[in-house]
Amino acid sequence: MERRFLGNSGLELSVLGFGAMTFGSGKGMGVTDIAGARRQVDRCIEAGVTLFDTADIYSGGESEKILGEALGDKRPSAIVATKLFGAIGRGSHDRGLSRRHIIDACDASLRRLGTDWIDLYQVHCHDGLVPFEETMRALGDLVRAGKVRYVGSSNYAGWQLMKALATADRLGTERFIGQQIQYSLLARDAENELLPCGVSEGVGALVWSPLAQGYLSGKFDGAESSGEKTRLGETGRIGSYHRRGGEAIVAVLRDIAADHDGATPSQVALNWVRARPGVTSILVGARSDAQLDDNLAAAEWTLSAEEIERLDRASQPPPSYPNSHQRSYHLDRNPQLFPRY
């Protein structure tokens, strides 16, 4: 499987990573028990996946526990990424990005994962109540204590990412080398600020919900259900994807898949994300082994430039200010300013 360095760092990741949000026994999105998790982790490793992503809040901590157990003695060759921010208790320091919570949350994740170190420790969300200085210093201290190897952000706005990086530089402490972002043919907002900022600043993107939570597999086919139990069916959000132009995008995915032997709409959607500038790894999620195998097979082939262009056009969001304004001023003067975005 193709590997890429995460941003401007020496951390090398497989282009497909495994998202362990589905590990757990029914709390939250957890649908995969330890036996299933062992099978899925082994399948991933066999396919060349090195990156495994989880979070302290997934299924109330079960996802981290199950991931740690399923990796077992394969832990040293894996890259384990987890996250903190969400409430894990009722106390005022049981959430957020204060020094107190960062240090406690890290120790708790290490215990649940059954490991001595976390390869990539990511803040799950921006905390508007805590100074950037406090958060970046505490994260840097975890790196210096050997508990964490690299740090990253998730779900930041562009200015928040830039401010965190500038704060780390000013303090001489660890910068974020990765940002975990929502990005798919149905969610391209990250192209406005986050992806260009990442390209400019050497922060690689790990992509979450690359299939728009299963919608881009094409299984809903204009209906409000696929006839089986699905995450989008349970949350009642299939219709909102139809209304956002999802069906037209799925039609193009199907068309392109038909031109590649054995390919599926899911694989086409994953390969579009893989081709986008600034993206390092794509986190694939799966309810079943069959879905996982389908998604892992995306790594075995790539899209042509024409196919990428066709998908770009089919999913183009409306222009957003100030990018549209800047483009109109500068495009004829220096197209390099806008390589893809």
Ligand X SMILES: NC(=O)c1ccc[n+]([C@@H]2O[C@H](COP(=O)([O-])OP(=O)(O)OC[C@H]3O[C@@H](n4cnc5c(N)ncnc54)[C@H](OP(=O)(O)O)[C@@H]3O)[C@@H](O)[C@H]2O)c1
Residues belonging to the active site: 58
What part of residues 144-173 is at the interface with ligand X (CB under 6 A)? 154-155
Instruction: Label residue 59 left, alpha or beta by phi (over 0 means left) and psi (-120 to 50 means alpha).
Output: left
**Closest approach of Cβ 184 to ligand X, in Å?**
7
Q: Which of 137, 231, 244, 310 binds ligand X (CB under 6 A)?
A: 231
User: How much of the chain is helix, strand and coil, in % rounded to 5?
Assistant: 45, 15, 35
For residue 163, the one-letter residue type is K
Q: Is residue 184 a contact partner of residue 211, using CB atoms and an 8 Å limit? A: yes
Q: Which of 283, 299, 303, 314 binds ligand X (CB under 6 A)?
A: 283
Q: How many CB atoms lie within 10 A of CB 49?
A: 25
Which region, judged by CB under 6 A, interacts with ligand X, from 111-119, 160-168, 209-217, 296-304?
209-217
Interface mask (CB under 6 A) for ligand X, residues 237-276, using x and -? -----------------------------x----------
Rg for the chain (alpha carbons), in Å? 20
What part of residues 167-206 is at the interface with ligand X (CB under 6 A)? 180
Which region, judged by CB under 6 A, interacts with ligand X, from 128-136, 186-194, 228-236, 310-318?
228-236
**Cα four-point dihedral sign 142, 144, 148, 149:** positive
* Identity of the residue, 196 or 285, whose beta carbon is nearer to ligand X in the bound complex: 285
Q: Which of 140, 249, 248, 237 is nearest to 185 (CA)?
A: 249
Q: Quick check: 82 binds ligand X (CB under 6 A)?
A: no
Interface mask (CB under 6 A) for ligand X, residues 290-309, using x and -? -x--xx--------------
Q: Quick check: 280 binds ligand X (CB under 6 A)?
A: no
The Cα 115–Cα 51 span in angstroms is 15
The Cα 23–Cα 25 span in angstroms is 7
- Using CB under 6 A, list all residues that contact ligand X: 19-22, 53, 124, 154-155, 180, 208-214, 217, 219, 230-232, 266, 283-287, 291, 294-295
